Amino acid sequence: MSTQPHIITLTIDGRELSATVDDSILTIARQHKIDIPTLCFLEGLSTWGACRLCLVEIEGTPKLLSACTTKCVENMVVKTDTERLKQHRKMIIELLFAERNHICSVCVSNGACELQSLAQECGVDHVSVPYRYPSLQLDSSHDLFRLDNNRCILCTRCVRVCDEIEGAHTWDVAGRGIDAHVLTDLNTLWGDSESCTSCGKCVQVCPTGALVQKGTAVAEMHKQREFLPYLTKMRRNHP
């Protein structure tokens, strides 16, 4: 089959852009330096669409749709930066902060946290809903790494990278709604996990201070993600 990719034209923020029908709105926006904030999305992992930060307005559609999961369509008119979207994004970030115990000033990821920097970018100056202050567990049983549920935003990057890239599938999400949380080996302590290869990919893709290397103090945890585009590219070349 030597079919040409079907090229279509769509408008994002007033700019006419070309795309294939397989491209997501987010992919095309990023190719043209149109910034749409994301948290659960990470290039190289499957698309999840859970954080809802990349919601965009599409003309003729009453619902807001996530740019990461919505494919481009001929003559689609997309807006990524309206006042309504800005308000929704601020509220999402506020709810993430209120849901668990994110204390930036004493976090190992202070200064290198995607939630923290997005809050600043989106102009979140305070959290207008009451904080929940849940009582959550830490898992420090692994020799190298630590899970701090207080900082987790349930983006599932750890679950996906472990399953899709490392092939170990150590991580899963348990519980429903407000009780949802990540766990290792179907609720075994991380240190006792038989499937974990201690590769640390989950730590490196985690956007916050939920998964960290042990031995890091405040603001010392800097994530290294270079491996992900590299591995993704290699696999694309040798499927």
**Residue 75 or 120: which CB sits closer to another protein?**
120
Q: Does 191 bind another protein (CB under 8 A)?
A: no
Task: Give the span between the Cα atoms of 13 and 162, in whole angstroms.
Answer: 36
Cα→Cα distances 235→84, 146, 167, 229, 230, Å:
39, 29, 13, 10, 9
Residues 120-139 that bind another protein (CB under 8 A): 120, 123-128, 130-131, 133-136
Q: Does 213 bind another protein (CB under 8 A)?
A: no
**Residue 119 or 159: which CB sits closer to another protein?**
119
**Which is it for strands 211-213 and 15-20: parallel, antiparallel or unpaired?**
unpaired
Task: Give the span between the Cα atoms of 210 and 107, in whole angstroms.
Answer: 9
Candidates 66, 70, 116, 184; binder of another protein (CB under 8 A) is: 116
**Residue 119 or 147: which CB sits closer to another protein?**
119
**Residue 17 or 93: which CB sits closer to another protein?**
93
Q: Which stretch binds another protein (CB under 8 A): 27-35, 46-54, 105-113, 191-199?
A: 105-113
Per-residue DSSP letter, 110: T
**Residue 77 or 112: which CB sits closer to another protein?**
112
- State the minimum distance, in angstroms, from the CB of residue 122 to another protein: 9
Non-local CB neighbours of 35 within 8 Å, separated by 6+ positions: 29, 80
Structure tokens at 62: 């009453």
Q: Does 217 bind another protein (CB under 8 A)?
A: no
- State the minimum distance, in angstroms, from the CB of residue 176 to another protein: 21
Angle at 124 between CA 118 and CA 129, to 5 degrees: 120
Per-residue DSSP letter, 230: H
Interacting residue ranges for another protein, rule: CB under 8 A: 97, 101-107, 110-111, 116-117, 119-120, 123-128, 130-131, 133-136
